[in-house]
Amino acid sequence: MILLSLVTTLLISGLGAEPSPGEHRANVPITVEDNTWLLHVPPSHKGPVELHFVDKPASVAERATGKTLPFTHDAGTATIEPPAVLSADDTVIAVSWKNERWDKDMQAFAERDRQQPPKQGGLLFVGSSTIRIWNLDECFPGLNALNRGFGGSQYADAVYHFARVILPYRPATMVVYDGDNDIAGGKSPEWVFADFETLMRRTRFNLPETRIIILSIKPSIARWPLWDKIKQTNAMMEEYTRKQDKMFFVDMTATLLGPDGKPRADLLQKDGLHLNAQGYGLCSALLKPLLQGAGG
């Protein structure tokens, strides 16, 4: 058993160097240490270094000297001016982000783990409010599913808090739902997919045996004007998932749309966004065949 409140720091520092979050994310090679991207700029590189599909960094500095480097950020692209003189080996630029929005949620999770330590190797649900308000004990009795949803979150938040909401539990099976808030927040399907891929790469690198179940971004009345973008994102995630081992994509679309091709109001709460009990019941039925033996 694991006490998250006692080992979070050790887990974070123990992540070590990870592979690239996606080769398309920059015009130089990237490795990752926790939430710092290490940009490896070869001596032959010319011009600025560009990062794509990223939020504005909190800090950008030459790793060897700690010298802050100038950068601009616009529409998800960070443009960095590397040192005037590059080293004979790769010049490493450290780019970091700061995300304090979910600190209270992370502290609450740590306190729950302190009071009732969950065992490793079980069934984990993680993601935004669709996960957070899911009554897992009622929908999946006997599976002892652990809920680590934090409402309003995006794929990038799951990446940032990976060492707090995923890694400590080392789940045998993980169910993920995000993307809703990403699109609503103005991210393009390509940007959402980039964050999704980063989470998948990070999970697979650190938890190679974990079965990963991705839930499609659901159709809803409140976000129906965004449906075309949501469909594009779902298609990219499904295609990616199909090519991976121990990874599954569950498309909830047909279940949540009516004969008129629009979201069923009877499956949503009054806000037209979140699922009600009937909606969760139908979506749970889609999941159950993949969760046989997943509890513990």
What average pLDDT does range 26-50 have in this prediction? 95
pLDDT at 295 over 70: no
Whether residue 91 is found in the same domain as residue 156: no
Whether residue 72 is found in the same domain as residue 148: no
pLDDT score, position 1: 32
Whether residue 92 is found in the same domain as residue 107: no
pLDDT score, position 87: 87
Whether residue 137 is found in the same domain as residue 257: yes
Give the residue with greater pLDDT, 119 vs 217: 217
The CATH number of whichever domain residue 49 belongs to comes to: 2.60.40.1180
| Dihedral sign from CA coordinates of 97, 102, 107, 110 | negative
Centre a 10 Å sphere on the Cβ of residue 14 and count the other Cβ atoms it contains.
12
The CATH number of whichever domain residue 181 belongs to comes to: 3.40.50.1110
pLDDT score, position 9: 34
> pLDDT tens, 50-98?
999 999 999 999 999 999 999 999 999 999 999 998 888 899 999 999 9
> pLDDT tens, 273-288?
999 999 999 999 999 9
pLDDT band for position 5 (50/70/90)?
Answer: very low
* Listed residues 96, 123, 145: the one ending a domain: 96
Whether residue 117 is found in the same domain as residue 237: yes
Q: Tell me what percent of the residues of the chain surpass a pLDDT of 90.
A: 88
- The structure's pTM equals 0.92
The pair of structure tokens assigned to 16 is: 């070590």
pLDDT score, position 294: 73
Whether residue 236 is found in the same domain as residue 116: yes
Q: Is residue 9 part of a domain?
A: no
Q: Is residue 295 part of a domain?
A: no
Q: What's the domain range around 62?
A: 17-34+36-96
Whether residue 84 is found in the same domain as residue 107: no
> pLDDT tens, 121-140?
999 999 999 999 999 999 99
Whether residue 275 is found in the same domain as residue 148: yes
Q: Tell me what percent of the residues of the chain surpass a pLDDT of 70.
A: 94
Closest to 160 measured CA to CA, from 57, 254, 76, 77: 57
Q: 95 - beta bridge partners?
A: 37, 60
What average pLDDT does range 245-249 have in this prediction? 97
pLDDT at 195 over 80: yes
Distance between terminal CA atoms of the chain? Answer: 13
pLDDT band for position 119 (50/70/90)?
Answer: confident
pLDDT score, position 197: 97
* Listed residues 53, 80, 96: the one ending a domain: 96
pLDDT at 190 over 80: yes
The tally of domains found in the chain comes to: 2
Strands (DSSP E) found in 150-217? 173-177, 211-215
Q: Is residue 49 part of a domain?
A: yes
Whether residue 207 is found in the same domain as residue 186: yes
CA pair distance 218, 276, nearest whole angstrom: 13
pLDDT score, position 15: 58
> pLDDT tens, 153-175?
999 999 999 999 999 999 999 99
pLDDT band for position 37 (50/70/90)?
Answer: very high
pLDDT score, position 296: 56
> pLDDT tens, 6-23?
333 333 334 567 889 999
Strands 123-127 and 71-74, how do they pair? unpaired
Residue type, 9: T
Q: Is residue 59 part of a domain?
A: yes
